[in-house]
Amino acid sequence: MKTVGLMGSLDYKITIKYLDALNRQLALDIGPQHSLKSMVYNFDKSELSIKKNRAHYLKEVIYHADVLRQSGADLLVLCEESMHEIVKDIRRNTSIPVVHIGEVLGREIKASHISKVLVIGSRDSMQSDVYIHALNRAGIQVAVPDIKLINDIDELLEDDEACKIRLISIIESFRMRGVSGVVFCHPRLNELIDPSELSMTVFDSFEIHVKNIVKEIGIG
């Protein structure tokens, strides 16, 4: 079984969430007698920001990705969504394989014969190239909400009294634009909306990422 190197930055809870989900999925796929072989590097979020200093961010992530490789990691898992923006740089500068969240999502959507999706989540997720570019490369069109709607969705997801009916209405409105699938990129969406409440196919980015990482773990 391959050893996974997990790298996180902004929120250590997301790194813990990945560890828990990967162990659970591994038990389902391979057997409950197995547990994840892993090592973790988590940055101090006060010291690292892709928005403040991209060059420093790149240098630090690439360096520590290679440290994980030299320490025995066979596979790199980026627990922070924004880190996937620099996967090309990581691949160019170190030999450790990376499971890109947008790439595995693209394969999953393509296998479902869906050609156009809506990506819905935080403001950063909806505007990020992490999903748009990866899905476009897989031959999938991405419907992007206008800035006002992006802000509305972001606020709804941050509001404890978020209106479920409003979110469902927003998602369903994209059917008129030829959308037949929706990508959930925020945990609140799973809490608020059951896939059966929508008339289109739901793709959970986190869940798909985890399942594909476990597939890679079992190879070789």
What is the block-wise mean pLDDT of the chain (220 residues), using blocks of 10 residues?
Answer: 89 90 92 90 76 80 94 95 91 95 96 96 89 95 93 85 85 95 93 93 97 84
Alpha-carbon span 57 to 70, nearest angstrom:
20
CA dihedral 88, 98, 190, 127 (to 10 degrees): 0
What is the per-residue pLDDT for 161? 63
What is the per-residue pLDDT for 183? 97
What is the per-residue pLDDT for 51? 61
Residues 6+ apart with CB under 8 A from 56: 48
What is the per-residue pLDDT for 220? 46
Q: Which structural domains are found in the chain, ordered by start? A: 4-98 (3.40.50.1860), 102-204 (3.40.50.1860)
Residue with tokens 């740089």: 89
Name 40's bridge partners: 6
| Backbone phi and psi for residue 2, each to the nearest 5 degrees, phi listed first | -75, 150
pTM: 0.92
